[in-house]
Amino acid sequence: MSDESDQTGAAQEEARKPGWLARLKQGLARTSAKLGGGIIGLFTKRKLDDATLEELEDLLIQADLGVKTAAKLTANLARERFDKEVTSEEVRQAFADDIAEILTPVALPLTIDPALKPHVVLVVGVNGTGKTTTIGKLAKQFRDQKKKVMLAAGDTFRAAAVEQLKIWGERTGCPVISGPENCDAASLAFDALKRAKAEGADVLLIDTAGRLHNKAVLMDELKKVIRVIAKMDPAAPHSTVLVLDATTGQNAHAQVETFREMVNITGLVMTKLDGTARGGMVVALADAFGLPVHAVGVGEGADDLRPFEARSFARNLMGLE
């Protein structure tokens, strides 16, 4: 088959895919069905009493919004509607508004500072969360913005991760700095930064290992990477992005806490927001940590990583869109 036929087939396949908002709705379907269906089941038209509030709080906790956030949402509802007749639509609307209020301050895109040459982005997370794919997608976005991007294959213990990053490098036209398997990740990051500076790159995206089962080793490695690149640029990394798998539910909370012990996390990216996702976790994280949520991923395609939109997410979570 010719390259032209390949491109035509890819374009037709892309055209057949549902729009991004439709895929976000699909991604939140499991959580919104649990929440929306549960709320509808509680209310035909009845007064909001203590027993109903307790059931609502349980529903929110089961949907991975966390105990603290669930208590906050039900307390807000009680303050406005206690002992009044309410419908399921009114309850879902009230929750969506409050959730949007929690999410709006953290819905912040990853912004590259043009004064930095390069802006160094360290990407961290547990293996399997989609770090390498996220780096590839970010690289495409920055390339689309006409930025010069370089990639560093810092997960040196996994040959598959290095090869995957090289594939993304070819797709996006970004040079990939790599070394032999098991080479020193800090030295590789230093060499990558040196080259990025020499070639006037706008962005350097550094992949890292995520072997959380051996936390002490991982912590030492990440701290060494930061210490070594700081010798060349004391402010680097300028952004440290933690990639989280949206299917892990409340386990993501523990991952944020663990990685914050190791490095200064400046923002989050949520991946795998497909039909198996536990979307309430995003709200719990925003409420607990207040870290910027730069983007959410709803598929494997290069354009499936999008800026996080608080209101749309909140309404879809409650099955209102």
Q: How far is the C-alpha of 22 from the C-alpha of 138, rounded, in Å?
A: 22
Q: What is the pLDDT of residues 295-312, one digit of tens each?
A: 998 777 777 888 889 999
Mean pLDDT throughout 184-199? 96
Mean pLDDT throughout 110-135? 94
Give the angle subtended at the CA of 285 by the CAs of 230 and 248, to the nearest 5°. Answer: 95
Q: How far is the C-alpha of 212 from the C-alpha of 256, rounded, in Å?
A: 12
- Burial environment of residue 235 by CB neighbours within 10 A (0 to 12, 13 to 18, 19 or more): exposed
Collapsed DSSP state (helix, strand, coil) of residue 267: strand
Q: How far is the C-alpha of 230 from the C-alpha of 111, rounded, in Å?
A: 21
Q: Percent of the chain scored above 90 by pLDDT?
A: 58
pLDDT greater than 50 at residue 101: yes
Q: How far is the C-alpha of 249 from the C-alpha of 183, rounded, in Å?
A: 34
Mean pLDDT throughout 219-248? 94
Residue 29 phi, psi (nearest 5) = -60, -40
pTM above 0.85, yes or no: yes
Q: How far is the C-alpha of 158 from the C-alpha of 154, rounded, in Å?
A: 9
Give the pLDDT band (50/70/90) at residue 17. low
pLDDT greater than 60 at residue 10: no
Q: What is the pLDDT of residues 35-66, one digit of tens each?
A: 777 787 776 556 788 888 999 999 999 888 99
Residue 290 phi, psi (nearest 5) = 65, 20
pLDDT of residue 44: 57
CB 107 within 8 A of CB 310: yes
Nearest to 208 by CA among 220, 194, 225: 225
Give the angle subtended at the CA of 310 by the CAs of 308 and 313, to the nearest 5°. Answer: 85
User: CA–CA distance from 219 to each of 15, 17, 208, 260 (Å)?
Assistant: 44, 40, 11, 10
Q: What is the mean pLDDT of the chain?
A: 87
Give the pLDDT band (50/70/90) at residue 178. very high
Residue linked to tokens 């993304």: 168
Give the pLDDT band (50/70/90) at residue 274. low
3-state helix, strand, coil in the chain (%, to 5): 55, 15, 35
